[in-house]
Structure 1
Amino acid sequence: MLVTLAGTLALVGAVSGAYYFAMRPVTLRIAVGPQNSDDLKLVQTLTQSFAHSPVRLRALQTDGAVASAAALAEGKADLAIIRGDLTVPKNAQAVATLRKNVVVLWAPPPKAEKGKKAAPKITKIQQLAGKRIVVVGRTEANVNLLKLILRQYGIDASKVEIAQFPAGEAADAIRNQRADAYLAAGPVNSKITTDAINASIREGASPTFIAVDAAAAISQNFPAYEAAEIPAGAFGGSPARPEEDVKTLSFSHHVVARKGLSEATVAAFTRQLFSVRQALLTEFPLAAKIETPDTDKDAVIPAHPGAAAYVDGEEKSFLDRYSDYIWFALMGLSLLGSVGAWFASFLKKDERSSNASVRERLLDMLTAARQSESTDELDRMQAEADAILRETLTGFEQGAFDLGSLAAFHIALEQFHNAVADRKMLLANLPQHLQRTGLQLRSTGGL
């Protein structure tokens, strides 16, 4: 019983410990940047929203998507927000698509210099050869994206002057400096892109939006990009900017997790992320664009098993995850109980042997009682039987033998008492001279 109790307590403790270990709050480091970016602000808001949730966040600020990807690759972060068109770390698995960005390429209205005819309006990418193009934002990824587009159209990037403006200073820079075309990459409703487009308006004339007609071909060769369209009026204004849909490229920003991160933890994080998405819309309208990851096997960034389990409705409960361990623990407890029972039985074998000998003695006394010719002898045997009874009850209380052995002893004791009582009654009914004769014969061996 003690062994079984100890095993049960150990099992309960193990299950309780496993439950606490599985359900305790987990803090994940998420790499995000740059400073003052919408991504960083969103992560800071999520950190506050998850303050009392099973999965919590700690922002690890970086210089941008490239640095965030490096932090994940080096194991300094558990999660990261990266650009899908950059080199994706080998240990990265998709958790969610944070947003989709579109490439916006536009040319300001041509400005006629005094005494000169205005330059022709730029409407096609082929006309950008030999021109000055300004890229909004300091990230090198946008410059590489521009070069990719130019190369698709057979334009040597070395023959194009490329400059960059910080995203926060783009509008002022566009007003004060001259360029033949501009490129920005961001969400369709990006304030930075909208302000930059508005800053390029001259004398009330709207800029010209340049279509990337080869977007489908580019996406075939570079799966990180997709062919997309900028809807008419996406940037407001009157007339609408643009006046009609414009073909372009798009790419995604992803929330990725380190490969090997607990499936249950990532599933819980994914569930929390999509549960608070609606609550973030007031402060972050872009939160409405958060989408579940692509769970297809041929996805550009493979989905983390935990995120895939949430998306496919196959998220495992505590019992699902640990049922095998609990089953093995129960089997171990059963084995422990069997070993304990054998060991206890081994320790009690001497006591069982003693009880068996006592029972045999009682049976011998039963035979002797039926042949006894003296009440004094019967009284002595009765006293011995009482001592045997006391010893037997003590042994039973100490667990020396089971209830079945006690029942057998009880039957033998009862038969002994009956034999003593019957023999005393018989002796009491015999004349005194016959009792004396019987004793004499017995002492000489005649009976």
Structure 2
Amino acid sequence: MSTEGPTSSPTEPPPRRPKVIKTNQQQVFLYVVLTLLLSLATVWGGRAMLHNSETLTFAVGTPNSDEALFAAKLATLLKNNASRFRIKIVNNADNAKALAQFDRKQADLAVLRTDAKVPLRARTLAILEHDLVLLLGPGGKKIKSLAELKKKKVAVVAENESSLAFVRSILDIPDGPDAARIQMAPQGATLDKLFAPASGFGAVIAIVHASRAVRDKAYEQVAKRGGFTLNAIDEAKALARKIPGISSETLTAGTLSASPEIPDDDLDTIGLEWLLVAQSRMSASTAGELARVVYENKSALGLDNGFASRIEPASVEKDAYVMAHQGAADYINDDTKSFMDKYSDLMYLGAAALSVIGSIFAAIYAKITRIAPEKAGELSTAVLDVGERIEHAHSLDQLECLQDELEGILRGAVIGLRDGTISTDGLDTFKLGYEFVRDEIGMRRDYLKRHCGEADKVAQDTAPPQQDESKIVVVKTAQSA
């Protein structure tokens, strides 16, 4: 009699859950990487927006004027340096009309000389050039004061008609018959021709760029022929206080001519400044960046004729004739900014982006994608399922299979509790169920062993006695004999 009863097909163990901890760690790692990447993208996008290409309109005079040529050089420099700024040059009939366009807010940048009407919203970015007022007399004749010129016919050597009005203002000559004695010199006229007796001019007032006066060899050539005398303007400081926009200047010895040396000693005169101005509404960052570009590229922005070859920072004094733009003033007063000053905006943007994006991903992970750990109490179902199949185990082999399955459930529970894939909720229930089923398996094992031994004994008792085949053979042999 077989000790094995009817066997049932072994029940497949419940499918193991995926490694929750590994999956969750992968999700956390993925979200951290995405948070960093999106934060960097946000900072980069914010920086791109802050540094997006900005077109600035530059109002200038005629295309061949100094301010127009300077604007063209600045535009080329910005383009070559891959700057975010682009310069749109708008030409006008003269610089006065360019300033009028600037005053109407139709331009962001302009160049003005300090004797011009200054637009209310103009703010200085840089001093591009100084103009010197040279008081020249014929031959060796000295001119002791500006008052002497009121009785003389004076030629004004300058590039535009605005200088004529400026000379009349410093000589204090109102419009009328006396003003006619102050005339613009004919285009291209030399000092020799202006001082010729036929011309009738008793003096010449030349308004020239300081950088150009140093380079102009014409003064030296005329001086060698004894053609003019350079006179001091002793009223320079008084005029600077009286007329806004005028500065007191000093000509060092040999400025106009080295041989003969003209002047032969330092000489007082007056001057004007050429200013690069911007609208007061221009942002401080834009103005500061433009000022930085201009200051750091002086040699590249100077014209061949000398204009803008000695660029200076804007005056940040409160009593400056044209106030410095706040952005330029900030750059001038604090040329070396700290790392935090330069990148604080981007750092704040990055921190905000990191916080917001991180919070979003944390919420997604916690509420949607996170695989929650299985409760220990839920494993009790699998344990009890093993217990229900114990009574159907009719052999020790079947019982061992159930024992292995129960141990597998316990092993999985221990590992899960260790790595976090199983929570401690219902752990007492699981322990109670496990102990109960384990004891049931032990009792069933004892039962099967006991009944298996009894069945073997019964089989031995009921079996017929067996004869010794060797003895039977011997008997048959004797009978046959």
Q: TM-score, normalised by structure 1?
A: 0.71
Aligned to 1:125: 146
Aligned to 1:227: 248
Inter-partner Cα distance in structure 1 for 2:302 and 2:438: 98
Matched, 1:164 2:184: yes
Inter-partner Cα distance in structure 2 for 1:165 and 1:282: 25
Aligned to 2:457: none
Inter-partner Cα distance in structure 2 for 1:211 and 1:361: 106
Inter-partner Cα distance in structure 2 for 1:254 and 1:270: 12
Aligned to 2:24: none
Structure having greater relative contact order (Cα 8 Å, sep ≥ 6) = 2
Aligned to 2:380: 363
Structure-to-structure mapping, 1:235-250, within 5 angstroms: 235-236=256-257, 239-250=260-271
Inter-partner Cα distance in structure 2 for 1:24 and 1:208: 56
**In the alignment, residue 144 of structure 1 is paired with which amino acid?**
A
Q: Is the 8 A contact 1:105 1:181 kept in 2?
A: yes
Inter-partner Cα distance in structure 2 for 1:262 and 1:173: 51
Inter-partner Cα distance in structure 2 for 1:146 and 1:283: 27
CA-based RMSD of the aligned residues comes to 4.7
Q: Give 1:171 shift.
A: 5.7
Q: Secondary structure at the match of 1:129?
A: helix
Matched, 1:340 2:364: yes
Inter-partner Cα distance in structure 2 for 1:343 and 1:7: 17
Aligned to 2:103: 73
Q: Secondary structure at the match of 1:184?
A: strand
Q: Is the 8 A contact 1:171 1:195 kept in 2?
A: no
Q: Secondary structure at the match of 1:13?
A: helix
Q: Give 1:195 shift.
A: 8.0
Matched, 1:188 2:218: no
Q: Give 1:192 shift.
A: 11
Paired residue for 2:47, among 19, 22, 41? 19
Closer/same/farther in 2, CA of residues 273 and 419 from structure 1, 3 Å limit: same
**In the alignment, residue 351 of structure 2 is paired with which amino acid?**
W
Q: Give 1:253 shift.
A: 0.5
Q: Is the 8 A contact 1:172 1:199 kept in 2?
A: no
Matched, 1:216 2:240: no
Q: Secondary structure at the match of 2:282?
A: coil
Aligned to 1:104: 134
Aligned to 1:87: 117
Matched, 1:322 2:342: no
Aligned to 1:427: 444
Q: Is the 8 A contact 2:132 2:208 kept in 1?
A: yes
Paired residue for 2:58, among 30, 33, 56? 30
Q: Give 1:251 shift.
A: 1.7
Inter-partner Cα distance in structure 1 for 2:354 and 2:287: 29
Closer/same/farther in 2, CA of residues 48 and 360 from structure 1, 3 Å limit: closer
Closer/same/farther in 2, CA of residues 133 and 293 from structure 1, 3 Å limit: same
Q: Secondary structure at the match of 1:303?
A: coil
Matched, 1:302 2:348: no
**In the alignment, residue 108 of structure 2 is paired with which amino acid?**
D
Q: Give 1:17 shift.
A: 1.4
Closer/same/farther in 2, CA of residues 352 and 246 from structure 1, 3 Å limit: closer
Q: Is the 8 A contact 1:235 1:242 kept in 2?
A: yes
Give the structure with higher Rg (CA).
Answer: 2
Inter-partner Cα distance in structure 2 for 1:166 and 1:25: 46
Q: Secondary structure at the match of 2:58?
A: strand
Q: Which runs of 5+ in 2 are unaligned?
A: 1-26, 452-481
Inter-partner Cα distance in structure 1 for 2:207 and 2:432: 104
Inter-partner Cα distance in structure 1 for 2:346 and 2:186: 52
Stretch moving more, 325-334 or 89-98: 325-334
Q: Is the 8 A contact 2:156 2:184 kept in 1?
A: yes
Aligned to 1:406: 422
Q: TM-score, normalised by structure 2?
A: 0.67
Q: Give 1:98 shift.
A: 0.7
Q: Secondary structure at the match of 2:167?
A: helix
Q: Is the 8 A contact 1:232 1:245 kept in 2?
A: yes
Q: Secondary structure at the match of 2:317?
A: coil
C-alpha distance after superposition, 1:213-265 (max 9, x if no partner): 22212222334222122334332275444444432211211112222334344
Q: Is the 8 A contact 2:233 2:269 kept in 1?
A: yes
Inter-partner Cα distance in structure 2 for 1:364 and 1:48: 80
Q: Give 1:211 shift.
A: 3.0
C-alpha distance after superposition, 1:112-140 (max 9, x if no partner): xxxxxxxx875432222243222223634
Inter-partner Cα distance in structure 2 for 1:314 and 1:408: 60
Q: Is the 8 A contact 1:167 1:192 kept in 2?
A: no
Paired residue for 1:178, among 188, 192, 200? 200
Q: Give 1:292 shift.
A: 1.4
Q: Give 1:429 shift.
A: 1.1
Q: Give 1:361 shift.
A: 5.5
Closer/same/farther in 2, CA of residues 84 and 124 from structure 1, 3 Å limit: closer
Inter-partner Cα distance in structure 2 for 1:82 and 1:243: 32
Closer/same/farther in 2, CA of residues 372 and 409 from structure 1, 3 Å limit: farther
C-alpha distance after superposition, 1:348-368 (max 9, x if no partner): 8xx979x65xx5454377589
Q: Is the 8 A contact 1:189 1:235 kept in 2?
A: no
Q: Secondary structure at the match of 2:328?
A: helix
C-alpha distance after superposition, 1:162-192 (max 9, x if no partner): 2224665566973673322222222235359
**In the alignment, residue 237 of structure 2 is paired with which amino acid?**
A
Q: Is the 8 A contact 2:372 2:421 kept in 1?
A: no
Q: Secondary structure at the match of 1:134?
A: strand
Task: Indicate the percent of aligned positions where both proteins have the same amino acid.
Answer: 21
C-alpha distance after superposition, 1:334-353 (max 9, x if no partner): 432354355438xx8xx979
Stretch moving more, 180-189 or 23-32: 23-32
